[in-house]
A and B are shown apart, each in its own frame.
Chain A
Amino acid sequence: MPVIDAAGLSKYYGDTRGIEDLSLSVERGEVFGFLGPNGAGKTTAIRTLLGFQSPTAGSATVLGNDIADERAMVEARRNIGYLPSDPGLDGTVTGERLLEYYGSLRGEERRGELLELFSPPLERPIGEYSRGNKQMLAIVLAFMHDPELVFMDEPTSGLDPIKQERFDEFVRTERENGVTFFMSSHILSEVQKICDRVGIIRNGQLVELENIETLRSRGGKSVHLRVAEAVPPSAFDIDGVANLTVGSGEDPPRRDGTDSAEATAFSFTFTGRYNALIEHLTDFDVLDFTIEDAPLDEVFRRFYDGSAGPEPDDGTDGEESSEDVVDRGVS
């Protein structure tokens, strides 16, 4: 039996769509990534599956329990962990007290072990915590009762890169032990790192279900490059380059009237091997070079236009923050 099984699950807030006709199933031991731009309905899906809000239509089971059956869900939650993106934690108590409280409600057999990996300052009031410390405390809370299934909503938001890496590693180990994960994210590289299978959600609807290899091959990187001197566009007509745009990379004219150095700027999506690209670059005098995750929207535009699912009609996808992608997706 699937650990999560949703059939036609929909949630509307009045006329506002949360999720629409969501059908998917997640098997035991799977890390399922739920990928979509901000505002696509990822959080709504998770909160509906946890029974925090009742579906407008459709049904779902979690660990074999009907999400609409409160009594069954109360029992099921003994084996469920929940890690929200911005956990609502009582700021007036210390981390220690909150762990003790939640431990008394859900169990805490793995608390010590988790605190060695993730170490929020337990003796301080939570109100004084940094974003990262809060997230670490929430991670301990989500896993301390040794759950079989964990829902994670943008789980690494606020964690520094080292802690992020540690968290990814932890999730992989847990998966080996048979824990199932349902994880939402708007960052392609994040789901690529730890997920087995990915559902892409857009405007409340599931657009695609992909295994991670397919997605990886379709994803690609966004490359921005500035090289000295005038270079023709054909110079970057190599394997793996798509959507090439060329511009003047020149500095603004100088005040003293002398010409600024000639340069050319290239932007393209790269899906080939890094080594090939790096080798190719040795032929040029590179002034500037950035490589980052292609923004989700661009991935969608390139691969899903006309082939699957409806297109955005209301511009809600514009919320996708390319800044986040740049910040966190640089490889």
Chain B
Amino acid sequence: MLEIARYEAERRLSGSVIIAVGLAAFAALFIAITPEIIGEVDYEAMLEDLPPAFSSAFGLESFDSLAGILAGEFYTLGWILLMGLYMAYSAGSTIAGDVERDRMDMLLSNPVSRSSVVLEKYLSLFVPIVVVNVVVGAVIYVGAQVVDDPIPLFDVVAVHALSVPYLLCCAAIGLLASAAMEREGSAQRASMGVIFSLYMIEALVTETDFGWLGVVSPSRYFDTNDILVHGTYDLVGAVILLEASALLLVASLLVFQRRDI
């Protein structure tokens, strides 16, 4: 049981550590420069001059605290975009990559079902999610204390915990592309394209009359500003993301079961 997941997880470990170290360095840099930003620039005035759609597109909501800048910049860029794209990219290679390189033949010559292959490969994507969240979460929490602008532990845990459903959903989009498409590269590009487009839709329409369009976007259900600045947690959003992930996973299973490899 779960041998496939364990093997795949092992192969993801080194890549996950590299991403974690990179994002941790990025986080440390952010924390190091924010005291200056907060002290020297009058962002309140600047924000008032910007169109609301613009400032919300880039998550510029509150720039008078470390938590606000992290939520608006670091987490928007690092998590919602970068990590979302990375998960879609990683998931995009799972099935299509094995099929393309004839490894799926070898794997399916074992007494394993196609659904367990899809499910366990998906499970292995928890490795980057957990490693990156734990490492970067720790760096953020400790870093904030070092620069003397502490963020409550509960908030740091909440923002990282609530990012898990979001990242799972991005991964599930990649998984479906990977189960359906012939080539690893196309599955990766397609799923990254979808994630980016969905992000842009939500980012651009949110303050306009077309706000309803954003309901299809995973990023609508994970708002870092709400968590870090206002201390509100969108649990319903998290459930919606988990449901969407489950639906995409089931769709991937069905597609792959019917497919010739």
Contact = CB atoms under 8 A, between A and B. Distances in A.
A78 interface: yes
Given A52-B260, A92-B11, A104-B3, A71 B105 contact: no
Interface residues of B, number: 22
B109 A88 contact: no
Interface in A275-304: none
A242 B114 CA distance: 53
Contacts of A183: none
Contact of A141 (B11, B102, B106, B257): B106
Interface of A: 47, 50-54, 70-71, 74-78, 80-82, 84, 86-90, 92-93, 101-102, 104-106, 141
Contacts of B110: 77, 102, 105-106
Interface string B67-106: 0000000000000000000000000000000100111111
B3 A101 contact: yes
6 contacts: A47-B105, A50-B109, A52-B261, A80-B109, A88-B101, A101-B7
Interface of B: 3-4, 7, 11, 98, 101-106, 108-114, 257-258, 260-261
Contacts of B101: 88
Contacts of A92: 11
Given A50-B108, A93-B11, 16 more contacts: A47-B105, A50-B109, A51-B108, A54-B260, A71-B113, A74-B113, A76-B111, A77-B112, A81-B109, A82-B105, A86-B102, A88-B106, A90-B11, A101-B3, A105-B110, A105-B111
Shortest 7 CB-CB distances between A and B: which pairs?
A88-B102, A53-B260, A82-B109, A88-B103, A105-B110, A77-B111, A104-B3
A187 to B, nearest CB: 22
A125 to B, nearest CB: 12
B5 to A, nearest CB: 11
B107 to A, nearest CB: 8
A105 B120 CA distance: 13
A181 B243 CA distance: 47
Given A54-B260, A70-B257, A88-B101, A105 B112 contact: yes
A88 B112 contact: no
A70 B114 contact: yes
Nearest to B257: A70
Contacts of B111: 74-78, 105-106
User: Which of B11, B101, B109, B110 has most A Cβ within 10 Å?
Assistant: B109
B109 A53 contact: no
Contacts of A51: 108
A302 to B, nearest CB: 36
B163 to A, nearest CB: 28
